[in-house]
Structure 1
Amino acid sequence: MTAVILGGGVSGLASAYYLVRNSSPFKRIILLEASDRLGGWIQTSRLDNGAIFEHGPRSLRPAGKGGKNTLSLATELGLSNDIIAVTRNHPSTKNRYIYMNKKLNRLAIGGGFKNTFYPQPPFSQSVFSMVIKELRAPVPDNDIEDESIHSFFSRRIGQEVADYLLDPVFRGIFAGDISKLSVKSCLPMDVLKIEKEYKSLMRGVIRRKEKDDDNEVYAMNDIMRATKERWSTWSFQKGMSQLSERLEDVIIRRGNVEIRKSTPCRGLEFDGDKVKVITDTESITADHVVSSIFSQDLSKLLGSPQEELSNLLNQITAVSCIVVNVEYKDYMSNIEGFGHLLPSSEDPCVLGVIYDSSTFKQHDAEKYVSSRYTMMLGGAWYDKLVDRLGDLKESTIQDYACKVLSEQLDIKTEPSNVVVTIQKNCIPQYFVGHSKLVESIDKCVSDNGLPLSLVGSSYKGVSVNDCINNAKLTLKQFDHGIKKVESPDAENIEKNSNV
């Protein structure tokens, strides 16, 4: 049997890995990647001076089932010794800022009398007042299937929290507009269900006990380390691309996976339980296709017999972002923290700034003191950014980003390195009704008996953890017993893995 995987991002690589790790029925697996590199939005640059720039995801969280699964994967791949972790007592964990009214406002993370009972900028109410308001907020009489993030938190806690906290936070995660983003699909828990059952979000979070229905088998070494050492985030010594590079290496060593870069799929033709995968040079007859590409790109590959599915897939949109990595040589900031985000009311075009050197000092230049930052621009306001800049020349973007950094962080020195990366359609937008749309897509695939599995950030989570875990869960249907992992560090994996 033959399986074809569309897309060589982390979802496609994870799909190939889980198919070859387990005893799947596919004796031949072909991964098609349109570009000349693997990793998708995971993209790391390693400069000659030793510095590392991340142009996409820059860290992973250990929390939740997805976090646990990615840590297990790191153990399986023999990457344990390459992990660099940030603990919960680190300044970058405790210090997070909202840039508003032309200044940095530190979020009051943690306890303390003043933080609880007195208003902290940029908010006019204290945390205590917000809690009381949420506990007393009425629950709608009618059942709400979904609503926007802004609507939900405005009615439960207040518009100020929605405008000055949730707005910048979700601009940092989805680069999107919370007046359109779904509270049901974008949050890790079903807050509408909690609200209905407990009459309060906070009361429900405290009282609610999650059912332990996680029957997965994990490699426990790094999971145990993360729990014991209280990790907040983590990455790798050589950057996030180390994960995709190791996945590629392990997959190739298995022998039954063909990775074809610079080979876009041009069309899919379904015929009963077979599917013809068309490229520029050949037509591959496959027993199953796993699509990890953006839903709208998949939509374009389907012929008229799948018009209904094509129309559904086309309804999921995505935003584009510009990522600007900046290094300042012989400069060390006195501001420690993860970074700062901006409410859309402050500046819609600038999403936020990550203080890379504060979080992962290990990625700084090797022979001199420096500070690295990453600025995120555009998202749902990409067109407005283009209008503001006038053009998208690299020099124009560099000048603009460095000017904004200088103003917001009071940096007087000139940058030593600047890298601009334009990421087109990089973050799918889960608008109100997204979960219903995904259900309709799944039903359409099932009702038509299509040998097709859908993974990737378009459907059930945009984070790296989500993409890897959803690929694993989706392809469990092909598990015929788990085999040992073969990798460059196989001996170490056998000793340390429970898989």
Structure 2
Amino acid sequence: MGGAQVVVVGGGVSGLTAAWELSTSMPATTITVLDAGDRPGGKLRREPVAGVALDVGAESVLARRPEALELMAELGLDGGVVHPVTTSASVWSRGRLHALPKGTLMGIPSPARAARGILSDAEVDRAEHEAPWPDTDFEDVSVGDYVAGRLGDAVVDRLVDPLLAGVYAGKARSLSLRACLPQVFAAVRQGSSLTAAASQAARTSALSPEGSAAPVFAGLRGGVGRLAEMLADRLRARGVVLRSGVIVRELNRDGVGWTVVTGPQPSPQRLSADAVVVAVPAAPAARLLASHSPTAASALREIDYASMAIVTLAVGVDVPLQGSGFLVPSVEGRTIKASTFSSSKWSWTAEAADDLSFLRASVGRYGETSDLQRPDTELVAIAVAEVSEALGHQLPRIVDSHVQRWGGALPQYTVGHVDRVERIRRATQALPGLALAGAAYEGVGVPACIASGRAAARAVATHLRGSGEGRGRMTS
């Protein structure tokens, strides 16, 4: 009997982590990762800007969750872990930058008066007089509708919406309270006020698992993209096959295993597997599962995605950039939704080039795609103009720029998302040797995706051990 053969469909951090976990727990397993992208890593990616390799996707991870830091340690990257020099962000509201109130949770201020300036006096007064929610035993509701009902529309429009846009590129009035703010959801259903629930959740999130104060975010010297690069290198060293530019067209049952079909329809290539990890976005996952589980495929099709672009700029070093950056409420009518002052936020970025400062701007909210159709030169010009306007002075000459487009990058956890995922999980339990992973399910951040990949690998390992660790299947 040969060792088991496993195919991982998707080479983002979820798929790479699944392969890493399997190669660790079942080293005799033959593992192949098939990825449609031009290189492994998904949204963890670095590109040169003015000769410096910078993150053009995710640039930090949540430090309060252990998964990303644990994986960095396994890969020997823990010596390069860094934390932001500053996390002091602003909100560009009503024509000027205002400091984001400390102690807020996803934009919910506690107390409301801390947001004065971003909010008018009348809006602060409305928020301080929290209205009751008519029914505590609700199944789910959008974050925006719930917060607006209790604290007023302005809190949603000028605080909550830009924060959620930063995480999901989504809109507060469609994103699920239960999925996006689970601690708050649980507390308010038990009768807590929204302000108290958000305040408690904010305090808890600022603590380490041991209960001490801890940094909220972490990065890697040289960029978080190094995590994916090192992971891919280590997988190859273990004999894992990583194939880029490969689209998986079909998954077919083959006795007790699976056949993975790639390549053009006239000349398909088939790869046999004892188990498959599907770590791609919801739409391609639905297509692959449609003939095996219509229920799961139908629920997957309900998960929509937002597209976005990251514009990275290299400018003169004399730019007075205070804090880590700023958020832009959609009610301001601007094109950019946020800007990060990379050289102020990360010491390694400031040290990377003595005569340059780096910053980036993000474009793209759910349902707003017209701006993303603009050519790169226009997006760069818009980013320069709007960042300059927010700062109150013109940025110096742009030395270099880079535009990274992320089509269908961020899943939208709309109302009912938790139940939707439960339906998907229940339905796919009936498919032996198949596991799902990725940002579509229980979290969009890097640690959540890593957790998803590990969980999928453990499920596959349990299946393989129960079936004798594979049958030494062949590729055709």
> Residue 439 of structure 1: CA displacement?
1.2
CA distance in 2, matches of 1:275, 1:316: 25
User: 1:168, 1:344 within 8 Å by CA — same for their partners in 2?
Assistant: yes
Q: 2:297 aligns to what?
A: 310
User: 1:325, 1:372 within 8 Å by CA — same for their partners in 2?
Assistant: yes
SS in 2 for 1:13: helix
Q: 1:121 aligns to what?
A: 117
SS in 1 for 2:421: helix
Q: 2:144 aligns to what?
A: 150
1:193-240: CA deviation from partner (whole Å, max 9, x where unpaired): 2112143244456789x99xxxxxxxxxxx89x998842322112211
- Choose from 77, 94, 100 the match for 2:93: 100
SS in 2 for 1:172: helix
Q: Does 1:288 align with 2:275?
A: yes
For this pair of structures, how many residues does the alignment match? 445
CA distance in 1, matches of 2:461, 2:119: 51
What is the one-letter code of the residue matched to 1:454?
A: L
> Residue 245 of structure 1: CA displacement?
1.3
CA distance in 1, matches of 2:164, 2:136: 27
CA distance in 2, matches of 1:148, 1:472: 30
CA distance in 2, matches of 1:310, 1:433: 16
Q: Does 1:346 align with 2:332?
A: yes
Q: 1:462 aligns to what?
A: 444
Q: Does 1:244 align with 2:228?
A: yes
Q: 2:358 aligns to what?
A: 372
CA distance in 1, matches of 2:290, 2:102: 52
1:227-258: CA deviation from partner (whole Å, max 9, x where unpaired): 98842322112211110111112222223x22
Q: 2:30 aligns to what?
A: 28
Q: 1:218 aligns to what?
A: none
Task: From the superposition, tell whether residues 230 and 382 of structure 1 become closer, same or farther in structure 2 (CA, over 3 Å).
Answer: same
Deviates more, 1:314-323 or 1:137-146: 137-146
CA distance in 1, matches of 2:351, 2:314: 9
Q: 1:477 aligns to what?
A: 459
User: 1:289, 1:453 within 8 Å by CA — same for their partners in 2?
Assistant: yes
TM-score by length of 2: 0.85
Deviates more, 1:194-203 or 1:161-170: 194-203
Task: From the superposition, tell whether residues 370 and 27 of structure 1 become closer, same or farther in structure 2 (CA, over 3 Å).
Answer: same
SS in 1 for 2:101: coil
CA distance in 2, matches of 1:342, 1:462: 21
SS in 2 for 1:285: strand
- Choose from 157, 161, 170 the match for 2:164: 170
> Residue 403 of structure 1: CA displacement?
1.9
1:150-171: CA deviation from partner (whole Å, max 9, x where unpaired): 0111123222211111011001
> Residue 44 of structure 1: CA displacement?
0.9
Task: From the superposition, tell whether residues 155 and 411 of structure 1 become closer, same or farther in structure 2 (CA, over 3 Å).
Answer: same
Structure 1 portions without partners, runs of 5+: 212-222, 481-499
1:61-110: CA deviation from partner (whole Å, max 9, x where unpaired): 211xxx21221221121112222222xxx4x22x2111112211112326
Q: 1:419 aligns to what?
A: 402
Q: 1:279 aligns to what?
A: 262
Q: 2:184 aligns to what?
A: 191
Task: From the superposition, tell whether residues 337 and 15 of structure 1 become closer, same or farther in structure 2 (CA, over 3 Å).
Answer: same
SS in 1 for 2:179: helix
Deviates more, 1:358-367 or 1:412-421: 358-367
User: 2:435, 2:460 within 8 Å by CA — same for their partners in 1?
Assistant: no
Q: Does 1:319 align with 2:306?
A: yes
Q: 1:81 aligns to what?
A: 79
> Residue 282 of structure 1: CA displacement?
2.2
Deviates more, 1:137-146 or 1:120-129: 120-129
Q: 2:193 aligns to what?
A: 200
Q: Report the RMSD for the aligned CA atoms in angstroms.
A: 3.0
> Residue 337 of structure 1: CA displacement?
1.1
- Choose from 158, 161, 173 the match for 2:155: 161
Q: 1:497 aligns to what?
A: none
User: 1:8, 1:38 within 8 Å by CA — same for their partners in 2?
Assistant: yes
Task: From the superposition, tell whether residues 345 and 132 of structure 1 become closer, same or farther in structure 2 (CA, over 3 Å).
Answer: closer
User: 1:269, 1:302 within 8 Å by CA — same for their partners in 2?
Assistant: no
Residues 259-278 of structure 1: pairs in structure 2 closer than 5 A: 259-271=242-254, 273-278=256-261
Task: From the superposition, tell whether residues 379 and 245 of structure 1 become closer, same or farther in structure 2 (CA, over 3 Å).
Answer: same
Task: From the superposition, tell whether residues 124 and 246 of structure 1 become closer, same or farther in structure 2 (CA, over 3 Å).
Answer: same
What is the one-letter code of the residue matched to 1:321?
A: M
User: 1:119, 1:127 within 8 Å by CA — same for their partners in 2?
Assistant: no
Structure 2 portions without partners, runs of 5+: 105-110, 463-476
Q: Does 1:395 align with 2:383?
A: no
User: 1:70, 1:465 within 8 Å by CA — same for their partners in 2?
Assistant: yes
